[in-house]
Amino acid sequence: MNMNSLSEAGLSSESGLHSGPPQIGSEPDPAPGAGADAPDADLGHFVEQVEQTFKADALESFWSLEEEFRRLVHSRCPTAFFNRELRRLAGNPSFMGNWRPNQMMLHRGPGYALSIGLFDKPRQYIHSSPFYGMYAPLGQESLYYDIYKLPQSYRNGVFDPSVRLEPAGSGITAPGGILLLQTDQYAYDFRIERPLPVLKFITAPYQTMEWLFSKEQLHAWQANDSELVSTQLRVSAYILGRLAHASSLEALEQLSTHGHHAVRWAAVQNIGRLSRSVALTRLEPALDDPHPHVRRAAAKTLRQLKAKIPG
């Protein structure tokens, strides 16, 4: 392990390792009247501090919450919350908690989320992360990872398969430590040998795309929308184009000015299927779109439409 890479990049915070966090599965039920609400109080205090400090329009304020997150890691909250959910499930097999696959949500606020995630297997690709984050392994296992530098040619919103990651070392975050995800500069590949619960404090996506890189060649493989709603709108634009009903024209016109370039791109590609005359009018401004993919889609669609107009 190259531990020096951690301090040089400012990626890991290891103070307080001697005490360690509470262990999942070891938290006894509190005696009646003996601080039974302490875990909720710990979470409530953390949320209160986040609400006072973090500004979604000033992302750097996120990093000032490291010590508050550390207090939460070392509190009873993660263990007690997890065990309470398990008791509810044991008492009622039909209980539906605030769970996703491999993730349990503790709290979601404006521009941030707090959850416990289960890292159970290595990913097929190296992923860029479109959010800032702090990760803390829970239990007795450490979190191992490789670090890759995003090159200067990397522009998140414009996918380029020629972009390659640059190896930047490896690291380990022991129980009680915190990994600070500097995702505007680095991508991380977590090495998982056995399932590991991780307390995750992250911002909402501040970048539009999540890139995937080949582990063998380190080149860019594909890019996905960082938010589900963008994918849903993009798919909706394609479906409306295939249905080709005039009643969908207004919706596609609105999507053609959406803030996410991939949504605009899908709308521009499909608007011509509904109305050739409207498409010719709407596609002209798209030739000056700030995103190259939208400009190319507009130019291609215009050429196709004009080729179908009798001379």
Q: The domain that contains 287 carries what CATH number?
A: 1.25.10.10
- Check residue 136 and give its pLDDT: 98
Out of 158, 191, 226, a domain closes at 226
Is the domain of 197 the same as that of 245?
Answer: no
Q: Rounded to an integer, what distance in angstroms lies between the CA atom of residue 151 and that of residue 170?
A: 17
**Parent domain of 263:** 229-308
Instruction: Give the distance from CA 36 to its chain's centroid.
Output: 34
The CATH number for 157's domain is 2.60.120.10
Contact 225, 231 (CB under 8 A): yes
Which three-class secondary structure state does DSSP give residue 276? Answer: helix
Is the domain of 33 the same as that of 96?
Answer: yes
Residue partners of 110: CB distance under 8 A and separation at least 6 = 56
Out of 226, 245, 263, a domain closes at 226
- Check residue 27 and give its pLDDT: 40
> Cα dihedral angle (296, 297, 299, 300), rounded to 10 degrees?
110
- Check residue 310 and give its pLDDT: 54
- Check residue 31 and give its pLDDT: 36
Is the domain of 23 the same as that of 155?
Answer: yes
Q: Which of 229, 236, 209 lies closest to 221 in space, CA to CA?
A: 209
- How many independent structural domains does the chain possess? 2
Is the domain of 183 the same as that of 260?
Answer: no
Residue partners of 285: CB distance under 8 A and separation at least 6 = none
Instruction: Give the distance from CA 189 to its chain's centroid.
Output: 14
User: Averaged in consecutive runs of 10 residues, what is the pLDDT profile of the chain (311 residues)?
Assistant: 38 40 40 50 95 95 98 93 88 83 92 96 96 96 97 94 97 97 97 95 95 97 91 93 89 89 87 82 86 87 75 48
Query: Measured between alpha carbons, how far apart are the two ends of the chain, in Å?
Result: 69
Q: Rounded to an integer, what distance in angstroms lies between the CA atom of residue 257 and that of residue 244?
A: 19
Cβ burial 287-311 (10 Å sphere, 16+ → b, else e): eebebebbbebbeebbeebeeeeee
- Check residue 14 and give its pLDDT: 43
Is the domain of 87 the same as that of 139?
Answer: yes
Out of 226, 257, 274, a domain closes at 226
Is the domain of 194 the same as that of 301?
Answer: no
Contact 283, 298 (CB under 8 A): yes
- Check residue 237 and give its pLDDT: 93
Is the domain of 210 the same as that of 239?
Answer: no
Q: Rounded to an integer, what distance in angstroms lies between the CA atom of residue 85 and that of residue 98?
A: 9
